[in-house]
Structure 1
């Protein structure tokens, strides 16, 4: 009986520990949230992260918000007729048991009307709204290049950009 109590305490204690660099909401895990610097207030920025749907049902990310921007939108880069184009999407599906990485050149969050500069090292809150699960709020860190964990997943650093963003 004593061993069962100890095991139960360890499990419950482990679940209550802070998660550090990721946030979890009812079996949806979000990790590695980072954003590119925005050097001029009012210019758009981009935010990236990893999603892991640990459930046996597909889920959809419907919206993202942050108090640092007037609005945030889900976007994707896709090749169309030999030209890479960016498009806003209304939702992003995360397959059952699947992972999805928001990264440069793929899915990402655009933040518009950024209220102040976002400089490397700063952190800001980001709230993700899902179709079936509770909202997840986490911190995104402003970085010049992706975090090391994302580089290991095949994300390559981009050269310094002047903060301009064009819609196609």
Structure 2
């Protein structure tokens, strides 16, 4: 049998433990109630990059049937006070879609994939032939003048915007030297 003193200590410990648990529960309820009265910042209420970076004048290059690649161009306009960037692009018209730029390597124009396309705060970034562009690799359909190619841009916060880029004839940029990349004049 338990000693009366030991029983009293054990009982007192249990009462103290239960009181502490109730106090933590009450404190948790009070904190939850205080949080419930604050406006919640959720994905729905936070400003998405796709809402502040606008796409102007999108278009895609028409290519002859059988050409494996094309490109899309546009102007990105950042209406916010914060720098943003396009991290990736996608389109159902191509197996692979990459962000690219042209660089001059000792007089030879070369295309290179880039990790992102930056759009400065309150600024514009032009994607154009001979410069930054969205590369459409492994075309799944013909790129005919008068049709459109949906292009989805995904920004650094994961938000995205999709535009229908009219397919147009585009002359090679001056100084491009008529070079070819993957069978496509660029």
Q: Give the TM-score taking structure 1 as reference length.
A: 0.71
For structure 1, the 5+ residue unaligned runs are: 1-23, 147-154
The count of aligned residue pairs is 134
In structure 2, which of residues 48, 62, 65 is the aligned counterpart of residue 37 of structure 1?
62
Structure 1 residues 44 and 27, CA gap change in structure 2 (3 angstroms): same
Measure, in 2, the Cα distance between the counterparts of 1:86 and 1:126. Answer: 20
Checking the alignment, whether the CA contact within 8 Å between 1:59 and 1:132 is kept in structure 2 is: no
In structure 1, which of residues 35, 55, 70 is the aligned counterpart of residue 80 of structure 2?
55
Larger radius of gyration: 2
1:109 aligns with 2:138: no
Checking the alignment, whether the CA contact within 8 Å between 2:81 and 2:122 is kept in structure 1 is: yes
Measure, in 2, the Cα distance between the counterparts of 1:75 and 1:84. Answer: 13
Query: What is the aligned-residue RMSD (CA, Å)?
Result: 2.8
Tell me the secondary structure at the aligned position of residue 26 of structure 1: helix
Corresponding residue for residue 81 of structure 1: 106
Structure 1 residues 53 and 112, CA gap change in structure 2 (3 angstroms): same
In structure 1, which of residues 139, 143, 151 is the aligned counterpart of residue 168 of structure 2?
143
Structure 1 residues 122 and 165, CA gap change in structure 2 (3 angstroms): same
Measure, in 1, the Cα distance between the counterparts of 2:179 and 2:163. Answer: 25
Tell me the secondary structure at the aligned position of residue 120 of structure 1: coil
Any idea what the Cα deviations from partners look like across 1:65-90, whole Å, max 9, x if unmatched?
01111010000001222322111111
Measure, in 2, the Cα distance between the counterparts of 1:139 and 1:72. Answer: 15
1:119 aligns with 2:144: yes
In structure 2, which of residues 74, 99, 117 is the aligned counterpart of residue 92 of structure 1?
117
Corresponding residue for residue 5 of structure 1: none
Structure 1 residues 166 and 32, CA gap change in structure 2 (3 angstroms): closer
Structure 1 residues 88 and 119, CA gap change in structure 2 (3 angstroms): same
Tell me the secondary structure at the aligned position of residue 184 of structure 2: coil
Hey, which of these two has a bigger chunk of helix by percent? 2
Corresponding residue for residue 20 of structure 1: none
Measure, in 2, the Cα distance between the counterparts of 1:65 and 1:46. Answer: 12
Measure, in 2, the Cα distance between the counterparts of 1:161 and 1:30. Answer: 29
Measure, in 2, the Cα distance between the counterparts of 1:166 and 1:38. Answer: 9
